[in-house]
Structure 1
Amino acid sequence: MTHMPVVDGHNDTLLRLGSTDDPVSAFAEGIGSTHIDLPRAREAGLGVGFFATFVLSDDEHEVRRTDEGYEFPLPEELDHADARSVTYRYLELLHRLDATVDGFRVVDSLDDFDACLESSELGAVPHIEGAAGVAPDLANLDFLYAAGVRSIGPVWSRPNAFGQGVVSRYPGSPDTGDGLTDAGRDLVRACERRGIVVDCAHLTERGFWDVAETSGAPLVASHTGAYSLCPHSRNLTDEQIDAVADADGVVGIGFLEPILADDSDPGADATLSDLVDHIEYVADRAGIDHVVLGSDFDGAPIPDDVGDVTGLPAVFEELRERGFGEDEVSKVAHGNWRRVLAATW
């Protein structure tokens, strides 16, 4: 590892690997169809990533044009048994990578986290994006914890037993529907007791405030942006950013182009400069201690001048060129994530 060690708060690489014939070899040896594999992660200095288990919807997530821009209507709720099966399958893949790929490990403790940042190993924090695979009565939550899950997003952009996800809309407020259900609040409390991060990404604004009122842990939104720069419903308002800072949490800036490009075209390109604008905005508003990276690699289109995981060093170089000091860059790269995980785990 030749670059500053980086923690990336969100990727969907397991989803991409799951569609290959030999996911272990594809990851260990490198595959051009993903944003992340082990060789490129080492080249980029990626020390730890949050590897999401994500269940695709049967119905297509098709864009609908509006008078001012676009929106993606919410897909139907998933069947819990089906979602649980897929979630378990991706966790099995993650542990198979841990067992068979030299230089890769599942991270479920702060010691593991630190060891990866201090070595050339790539660590993977198991994350559940959209908790449809979690039993509504939380009967399998301890099993999931034993399998290494240390981060859960209660919803993706669709409904489930725990709440309703935000409608992906531009322009549009994140206040697109109901918040957490009673089961959702129970999930937040149960995660806090066990030391599992609750990820507010994809929550409606009401859901975000429900988490803030229910949990005493640092608030985390892993892959989002600043609504003041791009009025997309997936982005956080200034009031939400302030709440994250007040809770000593972190806003993870996503690399996904729709939340970076202030444009009514859902296919509009964004740039590295746009991405760093969002980092800078949150740092200026909330303080440098409250902004991190959450790329959404392998889950969304990202700027061409980032490209894939090997573009991470360019993000930090742009920060330096804008006057960020080395200590500040280090906080964005990994220090802020470590502080939040130390307080949560």
Structure 2
Amino acid sequence: MPRIEVAGEIVANPPNNFERFPVSAIPFFDGHNDTLLRLLDQGDDAATAFVEGNAKTDIDLPRAREGGMVGGFFAMFPPPLKSSGTLTATERNEGKLPAELEFEPAMRSINSMARLLYKIEQSGVLRVCRNAGSLREAIAAGEMAALFHIEGAEPIDLKLDSLHVLHAAGLRSLGLTWSRANAFGTGVPFKFPADPDIGPGLTDAGKALVRECNALGVLIDLSHLNAAGFRDVAATSQKPLVATHSNVHALCAHPRNLLDWQLAAIRETKGVVGLNYAVGFLREDGQFRADTELEVLVRHVDALLEALGEDGVALGSDFDGAMMPRPIKDVAGVPNLLQAMLDKGYGEPLVRKIALDNWLSVVERTIG
């Protein structure tokens, strides 16, 4: 039976659930997935599809156990993509943003995904965690440790009443924007090549939202936020800066990626960046091609380590939200990436930090 290491602590006698992990697997925690969104299309069978296996998503429980995934940020993106005002290729190339989304449809969408997450929890294989201690407990118990994350603050009203309700329901991580504007800030377009330094900063309501998230213990996710908004969060927040699924702009000039000064600001606060596997945010040419080699991902890891240090780099796949490199494909392929890091010469202690420990550390320092 394998021994499972959780943030430096050995679980000498892990429960039977862990017998499904390969002995060679390094357990990992994922900073971002859109699996709940994809599961919604499967209606009443969605929770069963996750638990028993499902070829229509990048993550399900059997493949997660095969690959060594012990938990992650389970994103709720309002609303489903087909309703979000998809842009034409020309509009994207011009740097346009999708139309803003009203509060009520955003909240309906979040309610649907939250209900699904808790339905999966009722199966006994997943636990919605509210702090770092419960994350460690879930992992040690062989349950998938899930953090309730919202990608885009559209379901938050200006009085912040819904923020408190959602927090009581389990919300522990919030991306202020997706790649559109809302009442709190402005996201970046999907234009390539482009700079994230575009558009206005946070509104007064956005700064108030940051302060209230700090007070409640809700991690603020900077992925998708524009540069001016990033500066405002850095000036307002008292917690480590975190980008759950972003890469290095110097290697791929997509506005979703982080500039040198943003990486320096994250390091100064002892924050974390989760490596995004989306091929269009990795490749130097910005193309969406599945034949992207693991070497390209490791190049971003190298740059993140240089900019942030060993405690600042983690994983943030974007599973079920983007095109994955063929050598990874889905959650069962993540060991291929971890092996590529080992082959590059990263020692196993460093790979374990990137895979799991750095997320546990920053969750403890932001959420509690």
Please report the TM-score for the alignment, with normalisation by the length of structure 2: 0.89
Q: Which residue of 2 aligns with 1:84?
A: 107
Does 2:340 match 1:340?
no
Matched, 1:41 2:67: no
Instruction: State the partner residue of 1:63.
Output: 89
The Cα of 1:269 is off from its aligned counterpart by: 4.6
- Are the aligned partners of 1:219 and 1:249 in contact in 2 as well (CA < 8 Å)? yes
**Separation in 1, partners of 2:48, 2:274:** 30
CA contact (8 A) 2:99 2:180 kept: yes
**Aligned counterpart, 1:240:** 262
- What is the root-mean-square deviation in Å for CA atoms of aligned residues? 1.5
Give the aligned residue type for 1:38. Answer: L
Equivalent pair of 2:253/2:286 in contact (CA under 8 Å): no
SS at match of 1:223: coil
Q: Distance in 2 between matches of 1:268 and 1:20?
A: 25
Deviates more, 1:108-117 or 1:31-40: 108-117
Question: Partner letter of residue 166 of structure 1?
Answer: V
Counterpart in the other structure of 2:273: 251
2:42 corresponds to which residue?
20
Does 1:306 pair with 2:328? yes
Q: Deviations over 1:294-316 (max 9, x none)?
A: 00000000101101001111111
| Residue 165 (structure 1) aligns with | 187
- In structure 1, the residue matched to 2:9 is none
Which of the numbers 195, 198, 201 marks the counterpart of 2:223? 201
Q: Alpha-carbon deviations, 1:77-107, whole Å to 9, x = none?
A: 00111111111121111111111x2321111
Q: Residues 244 and 250 of structure 1 are in contact (CA less than 8 Å); yes or no, is this contact kept in structure 2?
A: yes
* 2:85 partner amino acid: D
Quick one: distance in 2 between partners of 1:30 and 1:72? Answer: 38
Contact 1:62/1:72 (<8 A) preserved:
no
| Offset at residue 140 of structure 1 (A) | 1.1
> What is the alpha-carbon distance in structure 2 between the residues aligned to residue 85 and residue 302 of structure 1?
29
> Which residue of structure 2 lines up, in the alignment, with residue 129 of structure 1?
151
How far does residue 62 in structure 1 lie from its aligned partner after superposition? 2.6
Note the alpha carbon deviations across 1:21-70, whole angstroms, 9 max, x for none: 3101110111111000011111111111100111234422332289xxx4
Distance 1:181 1:188, change over 3 A: same
Map residues 267-282 of structure 1 onto 2, 5 A cutoff.
Answer: 269-282=291-304
Change (3 A) 1:343 1:257: same
1:74 maps to what in 2?
Answer: 97
Q: How many Å apart are 1:112 and its aligned residue?
A: 1.7
Match of 1:317 among 339, 344, 364: 339
Is structure 2 residue 120 aligned with structure 1 residue 97? yes
Deviation at 1:273, TM superposition (A): 1.6
Deviations 1:211-241 (A, max 9, x none): 1100010100011100111111110011111
Report the equivalent of 1:192: 214
Aligned amino acid, residue 338 of structure 1 = L
Secondary structure of 2:75's aligned partner: strand
If the length of structure 1 is used for normalisation, what is the TM-score?
0.95
AA in 1 matched with 2:293:
T
Question: 2 CA distance for matches of 1:72 and 1:134?
Answer: 26
Report the AA paired with residue 89 of structure 2.
Answer: V
Worse-superposed segment, 218-227 or 133-142 = 133-142
Q: Give the match for residue 218 of structure 1.
A: 240
- Describe the SS at the equivalent of 1:168: coil
1:268 is displaced (CA, Å) by 7.1
Q: Is the 8 A contact 2:288 2:323 kept in 1?
A: no
State the percentage of identical aligned residues. Answer: 43
Q: Of 326, 348, 355, which aligns to 1:326?
A: 348
Task: State the SS of the aligned residue for 1:173.
Answer: coil
Does the aligned pair in 2 maintain the 1:61–1:72 contact within 8 Å?
Answer: no
Alpha-carbon distance between aligned partners in 2 of 1:308 and 1:119, rounded to the nearest angstrom: 24
**Structure 2 gaps, min length 5:** 1-20
After superposition, give the CA deviation of every residue in 1:230-265 in whole Å (9 maximum; x if it has no partner). Answer: 111110011111110110000111011111011154
CA contact (8 A) 2:148 2:172 kept: yes
In 1, distance between residues paired with 2:274 and 2:146? 17
Contact 2:242 2:266 in 1 (8 A): yes
Distance in 2 (CA, whole Å) between partners of 1:61 and 1:8 is: 28
Count of residues paired in the alignment: 341
Residue segments in structure 1 that go unaligned for 5+ positions in a row: none
Structure 1 residues 234 and 58: alpha-carbon distance in aligned structure 2, compared to 1, 3 A threshold = closer
